[in-house]
């Protein structure tokens, strides 16, 4: 290791040691659509619970069956764990009455934190159906309904539908002004893009906490597809690291965990202490990263929550 690299590593480790007892993580899952996928999800929940996440979020689809599965996962998390479950909620084609009913059902479970999203438009559509055109409309309505915490999404590399970075930032500001309480970003691989975005937010008067979304990569081809749909740039050097590994999932996982850990440590050096991991319902990579960050047994960190048998 060269002297410069060694000094950088030493600097990163010193900075990490200063904040390690203040690091917070959260994990995102999606509703399973088969018994086998349900088993995988709950094994992942149990494994990651030891890191005492701030919350675990559950995504929300555009059709009724997926919406019901989201509620079922949230309900089971409430009943069988000490974790804080946070449902995603989209407003595509939704009426105010439907959203109010969903909020009421979650409130009955003791859930009062929601990730508010517009949702993806159908391919041929230019605007939503229903009573909400924008995520900011949903945020305002959730605030009227008394939802205490409302997380919203942001795009460090600009939402693919936005006319410009300025237009995208204006949309985020509207969500903030409507009552959002914190911001979670889309995944990214260019830390400089996130840091520039954070600076632009502060310059625009957006002072809410901004949590970076981290996606550890084990399936590079899958992530390329995800990235093309959400405006995330995948650097060419990353693709080279996964070349020739289509039939070697173990090596892919090692690379993915190493890259994401390095990304997190570099962000810690920039003052970031909260991280949201997109798990894709698999625990291995996020577990390895959080273990390397020593998120168990730190001063002030509670013991892992107790879970019922799943």
Active site amino acids: 28
Measured on CA atoms in the order 3, 4, 9, 10, is the torsion positive or negative?
positive
The tokens describing 308, both together, are: 């019922």
Residue 103 in contact with residue 76, Cβ under 8 Å? no
Tokens representing residue 181 in the block: 């309480």
Residue 297 zone, left/alpha/beta (φ > 0; ψ -120 to 50; rest): left
Q: How many residues does the chain have?
A: 310
Please calculate the CA angle 213-135-143 and round it to the nearest 5 degrees: 100
End-to-end CA distance of the chain: 45
- At 182 the three-state DSSP class reads strand
């Amino acid at each position: 290791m060269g002297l410069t690299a060694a000094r950088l590593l030493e600097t990163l480790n010193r900075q990490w040691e200063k904040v390690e007892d203040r690091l917070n993580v959260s994990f995102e899952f999606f509703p399973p659509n088969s018994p086998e996928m349900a088993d995988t999800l709950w094994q992942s929940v149990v494994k990651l619970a030891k890191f005492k996440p701030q919350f675990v979020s559950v995504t929300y689809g555009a059709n009724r069956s997926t919406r019901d599965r989201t509620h079922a996962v949230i309900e089971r998390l409430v009943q069988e764990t000490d974790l804080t479950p946070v449902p995603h909620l989209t407003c595509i084609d939704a009426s105010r009455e439907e959203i109010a009913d969903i909020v009421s059902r979650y409130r009955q479970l003791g859930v009062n934190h929601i990730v508010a999203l517009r949702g993806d438009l159908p391919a041929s559509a230019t605007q939503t159906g229903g009573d909400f055109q924008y995520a900011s409309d949903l945020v305002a309505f959730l605030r009227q309904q008394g939802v205490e915490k409302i997380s919203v999404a942001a795009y460090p590399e600009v939402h693919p539908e936005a006319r410009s970075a300025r237009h995208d930032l204006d949309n985020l500001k509207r969500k903030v002004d409507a009552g959002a309480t914190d911001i979670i970003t889309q995944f990214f691989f260019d830390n400089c893009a996130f840091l520039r975005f954070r600076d632009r937010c502060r310059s625009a008067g957006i002072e809410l906490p901004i949590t970076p979304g981290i996606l550890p990569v084990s399936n590079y081809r899958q992530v390329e597809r995800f990235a093309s749909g959400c405006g995330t740039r995948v650097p060419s050097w990353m693709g080279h690291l996964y070349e020739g590994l289509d039939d070697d999932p173990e090596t892919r996982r090692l690379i993915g965990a190493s890259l994401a850990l390095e990304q997190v440590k570099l962000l810690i050096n920039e003052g970031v202490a909260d991280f949201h991991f997109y798990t894709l319902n698999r625990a291995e990579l996020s577990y390895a990263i959080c273990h390397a960050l020593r998120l168990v047994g730190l001063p002030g960190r509670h013991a892992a929550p107790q879970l019922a048998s799943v």
